[in-house]
A and B are shown apart, each in its own frame.
Chain A
Amino acid sequence: MTEDLRALMRAELNNERPPPLGDVVGAALRDGRRIKRRRRRAGMAGAGAAGLIAVVLFGTVAAHSEPRRAVVADPAAAPALPSPASPAAMARAAQKVSPGSVPVTVSPPATVAPERSLTVHSGMERAAGPRKKATTGAMLHLLTQLLPPGRTSHAAVSGNEDPYVQIYLDRGDGPGMIRVVLGQLPEDPRPPRGGTATVSVLRGENNCVQDTVVVSRWPDGTAVQLDLASCLQDERPGRVVLTDDEATAIAADPRWGLSMDADLVDQGDKRYGGSPVFTS
């Protein structure tokens, strides 16, 4: 019976006219390699999200900030630091900063308020309207819209086209310096922006330019970092001019991103297009 059944199946198969097999093996190899790459990236992103945030933001910020020692969540990034911290300082910093934190200044700070991390719902997935690549002019324009009332001055931008800006704010009791830098983690595939940012508030030490660092991170990898300085650019005394809550609200504003509202970009370029370059 078995042989008869098999013979019947084969006889019918012989009457079939199958199309050419095609390159199924090549296609399977290509698909398989792509999936492997994606899995590797997903694994790396999952395991080292904190490290990547550190690398991305530190890479952007470090080049323009005061010479400072940085805390690196990913130890592998340490050799790349321009001013490596002493082992003791790095150890202190590692204890201080949680794995999910971003690069901040080294070590045990003269903490004014406790560090914290919170989730901020923006209530919107993404600002509506056409988008354009963010410019430093747009960043300054948006920043001035978000700052509390006060006199702004010393608007300046990074010298090497990084999305990194600076401004002074005087709320009546003296100026304070604020710097903002944007970054984005590599994601493949990139998830949607999402309507919720995770914001970390961190304290620095021995680096007046980053007295307080507020970082917001979005599901699509976008990160916004606000450095609140306790000194001015030339290291004259200054003051931290924003509260943690104010800085958090600014960093978590959904309009930040490597692409921004087109009108905002146009207005920002018009208003701040010729801003001077600041030096670290």
Chain B
Amino acid sequence: MTDDEQFAEFANAHAERLRTTAFMLCRDWHLAQDLTQNALTKLFLSWRRASQSDNLVAYAQKILLRVFLDHRRRRSSSESASGMLLEPAYRESPELRLTMLDALGCLPERDRAIVILRYFEDYSVDRVADVLELPVSVVKSQTRRSLAKLRELLAEEQLALFG
């Protein structure tokens, strides 16, 4: 099997999962699709090295996260302020209750990535630190802070789930 065929096989098997992770990060399916395609392109370009990795899926996730963070960095000037979501009136209105995904969107990009990797992808702290190239201590402390913020943002009944 050629390199291209190997890549295509892997990509076809994992594209959907990558797109879901991308959606969790950006909460926009179309952007998630673009991010996934960019990440797969980068993966293709480094396929020789990537295919020797112990965990190819983690390698691909790492590329996806970098693509996402790069994208956010480039667009940071047009970022909307997440502080709006913290308004008490917003939280008190049941029909406007924040969902988990909305609440995740209120976290800074890197913290969001930490939470998604830790609790959605079920990565260990060490692996999250490796993927995001952060010290383990930072991952731990940011995880604590992010969870506290999520508790603040989410409705009472949802809080009970991970209190």
Contact = CB atoms under 8 A, between A and B. Distances in A.
Interface of A: 1-2, 4-10, 12-13, 16, 18-19, 21-22, 24-25, 27-29, 31-33, 35-36
Interface of B: 4, 7-8, 11-12, 15-16, 19-20, 23-24, 29-30, 33, 36-38, 40-41, 43-45, 99-101, 104, 118-120, 122, 147, 158, 161-163
Contacts of A13: 20, 23-24, 101
Contacts of B20: 13, 18
A12 B99 contact: yes
Contact of B8 (A2, A12, A25): A25
Nearest to B104: A9
Q: Which of B7, B38, B100, B163 has the most CB of A within 10 A?
A: B100
Nearest to A32: B44
Contact of A2 (B7, B99, B119): B119
Nearest to B9: A25
Given A24-B37, A25-B11, A18 B19 contact: yes
Contact of B100 (A8, A24, A27): A8
Contacts of A35: 41, 45
Given A8-B162, A35-B45, A29 B7 contact: yes
B28 to A, nearest CB: 11
A29 B40 CA distance: 8
A255 B159 CA distance: 73
B44 A9 contact: no
B73 to A, nearest CB: 21
Nearest to B37: A24
A5 B161 contact: yes
Nearest to A15: B99
7 contacts: A8-B158, A16-B23, A18-B19, A25-B40, A29-B4, A29-B8, A31-B41
